[in-house]
Structures are given as structure tokens and as C-alpha cells.
């Protein structure tokens, strides 16, 4: 039987995914700066405008709700209009929300400020959604590394953003705007630049070829990577479950750790350092986690995350309150476990979701993560009030073990 030889790939086509990944990385650096700058002073800005600490938690609540709804809406836009349009729109929405926050603060209009914070939160959902775009640009054997590269790019912006709070506050004051609105000036500029970068330089690319469905009885081809389900509901459900559980566990412990530390005599500077180490552990290992997912598969990486999260929860709960070092180690373990779950779950979901509904499904998975984060933040305070921080940390770690049977029970490859 005569077989037609495949057409040789052109050099431009082979470089196109690399160029697109570079564009995504640049947009993520800009978006990370906008997100971190805004979150840094959101609660303080609300407290200053309302002249009350009781309402200072509203920005976080509105940010979380907006991010959940934004993930669903932007996922659908990406599905029907393409990643370029969806991601650029998300950054544009975040820029508009940031500008609205500045306007609300300058005019001393609390209603405008709160509405703008909601819009800002909806746009920031783009940051996590971009990891799916990175995964789709790469061939199946490199999807984990591509998603990790896009995620770690956020870290660069997230580190730079808070360090510019002082200069942007001075700029805002010079313009007759409250100092605390200064970081949202930065967010407006950063998100606008990110949207323009995506619109101008991110071009639609042909989807990389999916691996062909295999005979269940056949062994893996020589030199092939780990076998993952190519299509199927079980892979989608498993990937989403892993990410949602990890988000719930991580947020619940992270939220109450500063309260736990300051309640036992440690200063806010110490609590801030512990959280900074935690955030670094959440994002910096992304390339290594992606490489691991490409080598052994998203399922094993997701399963390992359960054990790492358990270790972090147990250490946080059993560490003496006087030991900042052990508390920091616990939060670093929680960050690494969350990262493994996110990369492993992303890889599973991207492999399993059909192309015709993939972006929508990915957006809904991130909605689940946002809801889990909001739930963890609210429930954690109740648990600590009723039973104490050690109970919360140990219970959260034990809950993380649920990802292991979720991975073990997923359907076998087609």
C-alpha cells in the first residue's frame, strides 16, 4: 500500500510555537506585575476609603468572585474566538478595572471602587488561563514544560509589582490621587501593555497534532513518553478534582498562617516573609514540575502532590508556634504541593479534553479553583476559631490525600 510522505515542515512553522510562547511569557510578566501590585494594597485602600477595618476584606471577596466568573467567561471566549482574543480581552478587562479603582479612589466613591475591584478580579483570571495556551502550543510530550514556563513568568512580575508600591504611590500623590491607588496605576499600564502584546504579536497557530488513540492491549512505542488518556471524561474530572482539592487545602492553611504567627508574638514582617517564601514555592518550581509531568505523566505528578500537601499540613499543625523556620518549611511544602497539583492536573485535563470544548472546560476548571479558594478562606477562620490552627492544618493535609484515589481510579487510556 502506497503511503504519502508527510510534507516537510518549514523553518518558520517550526519556530512559530516558540515565538508564541515568548509572547505569552512577556504578557505574563506584565500581568503578574499588575496582579501583585493591586492585591498588595487592595485591602488597605478599602480600609482607608471606608475608614473601617470591618470592610477591608471586601476587596479579596470581590476579587475572588470576579476571578471565578471571569474564568468561565474568558474560557468561552477562548473557545469560540481563539486564545489571542480571549487572553487579550482578559488583560483589557483587568486594565479597565484597575483604572476604575483609581477613579473611585480619586473621587472617594466606594461604590465605584468596589465595582471596579470586581471587574479587576474578573480580568486577572487571565493569568492562570494562559498556562493552558502554553500547553496547547507545545507538542503533547512537552505540554507540562510549556505550562510551567508560562506560570513561572508570572513570578517575575509578581516580585516586581509590590516593590513598585512606593514609587507609584508618590506618582499618584503628585497627581492628586490617594497614594494607595498608585499600584493600580501600575496595574492599568501593565495590563494594557499585556493586552497589546497579545493582540499584536500572538498569532493563531495550527493546533499541534494530538497523539493517536492506541489499542489498549498494545504496549507503548519505543521511546514514547508516559501514556495518558488522550480523550475522556475521566481525565477531565480527575485533572479538575486534583486542582480544586489542592487549591482548597493550600488557601485554607495559607490564609490563617499569618494570623497564627502574629497571635503567638511574631511580627507582621515575619509573617510576610513566610508568605513570600510560600508564594515563591507555588510558582518557581513550575518548569521542573512541567518536566516531571512530561517524563512520567500528569497522573503520577498529581498523586505525588497529595503526599507533599499532607506533609506540609502535618508540619504546619505540629510545629511549635515559636518556630518560624518550621512554619516557613511547612508553607514551602504546601506551595510545592500546590504547584505539582496544578501542573499535573493541567496536563491531565489538557490531554483529556476534546479540542472542540477544551477552552470552555479549562475555564470551568479554574472556576472550581476560585470557588474552592473562596471556600477555604471562609471556612478556615471558623475552624481556627472553634478548634485551633493545628486542627485546621492537619485536617487540610489529610484532605489532600483525596487526590491519590482520584488519580488511581481514573479511566485507563483508550
**308-327 pLDDT per residue, tens:** 999 999 999 999 988 889 99
Distance (Å, whole) CA 266 – CA 11:
58
Write down the residue that cell numbers 510560600 correspond to: 278
Alpha carbon 347 to chain centroid distance? 14
Confidence of residue 395 (pLDDT cuts 50, 70, 90): very high
**Residue ranges in 55-109 assigned as alpha helix (H):** 58-81, 83-107
For the domain covering 233-408, report its CATH number.
1.20.1250.20
Same fold, 16-201 and 233-408: yes
What separation in angstroms does the CA of 1 have from each of 4, 19, 349? 10, 39, 37
Write down the residue that cell numbers 506584565 correspond to: 30
pLDDT at residue 178 is higher than 70: yes
Q: What is the mean pLDDT of the chain?
A: 80
Residues 188-193, mean pLDDT to the nearest whole number: 93
Write down the residue that cell numbers 476548571 correspond to: 365
Check residues 230 and 30 and name the one with the higher pLDDT. 30
Full-model pTM = 0.73
Of 91, 62, 92, 89, nearest in space to 78 by CA:
89
Q: What are phi and psi of 63, to 5 degrees?
A: -60, -45
C-alpha cell at 410: 481514573
What is the helix (H) or strand (E) element at residue 123, kind and residue range? Answer: helix 110-124
Cβ neighbors of 277 (< 8 A, separation 6 or more) are 328, 331, 332, 335
Give the CATH H-level superfamily of domain 16-201: MFS general substrate transporter like domains (1.20.1250.20)
Q: Which of 57-66, 138-147, 222-231 has the highest mean pLDDT?
A: 138-147
Check residues 283 and 230 and name the one with the higher pLDDT. 283
Q: Which of 84-93, 257-266, 343-352 has the highest mean pLDDT?
A: 84-93
Q: How many CB atoms lie within 10 A of CB 203?
A: 11
Domain boundaries, the chain: 16-201, 233-408
Residues 214-230, mean pLDDT to the nearest whole number: 40
**Predicted local distance difference test score (pLDDT) of residue 142:** 82
Contact in structure between 186 and 26 (CB atoms under 8 Å): no
**Predicted local distance difference test score (pLDDT) of residue 41:** 66
Contact in structure between 173 and 179 (CB atoms under 8 Å): yes
**345-380 pLDDT per residue, tens:** 988 988 888 878 888 888 888 888 888 887 887 788
Alpha carbon 249 to chain centroid distance? 14
Amino acid at each position: 500500500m502506497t503511503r504519502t510522505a508527510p510534507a516537510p515542515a518549514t523553518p518558520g512553522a517550526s519556530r512559530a510555537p516558540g515565538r508564541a510562547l515568548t509572547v505569552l511569557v512577556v504578557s505574563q510578566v506584565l500581568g503578574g506585575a499588575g496582579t501583585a501590585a493591586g492585591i498588595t494594597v487592595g485591602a488597605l485602600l478599602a480600609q482607608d476609603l471606608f475608614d473601617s477595618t470591618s470592610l477591608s476584606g471586601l476587596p479579596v471577596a470581590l476579587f475572588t468572585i470576579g476571578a471565578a466568573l471571569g474564568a468561565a467567561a474568558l474560557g468561552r471566549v477562548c473557545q469560540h474566538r481563539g486564545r489571542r482574543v480571549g487572553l487579550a480581552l482578559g488583560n483589557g478587562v483587568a486594565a479597565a478595572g484597575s483604572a476604575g479603582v483609581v477613579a473611585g479612589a480619586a473621587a472617594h466613591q466606594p461604590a465605584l471602587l468596589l465595582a471596579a475591584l470586581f471587574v479587576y478580579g474578573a480580568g486577572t483570571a487571565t493569568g492562570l488561563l494562559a498556562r493552558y495556551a502554553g500547553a496547547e502550543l507545545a507538542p503533547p510530550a512537552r505540554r507540562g514544560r510549556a505550562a510551567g514556563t508560562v506560570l513561572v513568568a508570572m513570578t517575575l512580575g509578581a516580585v516586581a509589582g509590590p516593590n513598585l508600591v512606593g514609587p507609584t504611590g508618590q506618582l499618584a500623590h503628585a497627581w492628586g490621587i490617594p497614594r494607595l491607588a498608585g499600584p493600580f496605576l501600575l496595574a492599568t499600564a501593565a495590563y494594557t501593555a499585556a493586552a497589546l502584546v497579545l493582540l499584536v504579536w500572538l498569532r493563531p497557530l495550527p493546533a499541534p497534532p494530538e497523539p493517536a488513540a492506541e489499542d489498549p492491549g498494545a504496549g507503548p512505542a519505543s521511546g514514547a513518553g508516559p501514556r495518558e488518556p488522550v480523550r475522556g471524561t475521566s481525565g477531565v474530572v480527575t485533572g479538575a478534582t486534583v486542582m480544586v482539592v489542592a487549591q482548597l487545602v493550600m488557601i485554607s492553611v495559607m490564609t490563617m498562617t499569618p494570623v497564627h504567627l502574629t497571635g503567638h508574638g511574631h511580627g507582621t514582617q515575619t509573617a510576610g516573609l513566610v508568605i513570600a517564601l510560600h508564594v515563591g514555592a507555588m510558582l518557581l518550581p513550575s518548569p521542573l514540575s512541567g518536566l516531571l509531568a512530561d517524563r512520567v505523566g500528569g497522573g503520577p505528578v498529581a498523586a505525588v502532590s497529595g503526599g507533599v500537601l499532607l506533609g506540609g499540613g502535618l508540619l504546619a499543625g505540629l510545629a511549635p508556634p515559636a518556630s518560624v523556620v518550621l512554619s516557613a518549611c511547612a508553607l514551602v511544602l504546601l506551595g510545592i504541593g500546590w504547584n505539582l497539583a496544578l501542573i499535573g492536573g493541567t496536563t491531565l485535563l489538557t490531554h483529556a479534553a476534546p479540542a472542540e470544548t477544551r477552552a470552555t472546560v479549562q475555564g470551568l476548571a479554574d472556576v472550581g479553583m476560585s470557588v474552592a479558594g473562596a471556600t477555604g478562606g471562609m471556612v478556615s477562620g471558623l475552624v481556627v476559631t472553634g478548634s485551633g490552627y493545628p486542627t485546621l492544618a492537619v485536617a487540610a493535609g489529610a484532605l489532600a490525600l483525596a487526590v491519590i484515589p482520584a488519580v488511581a481510579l481514573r479511566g485507563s487510556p483508550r
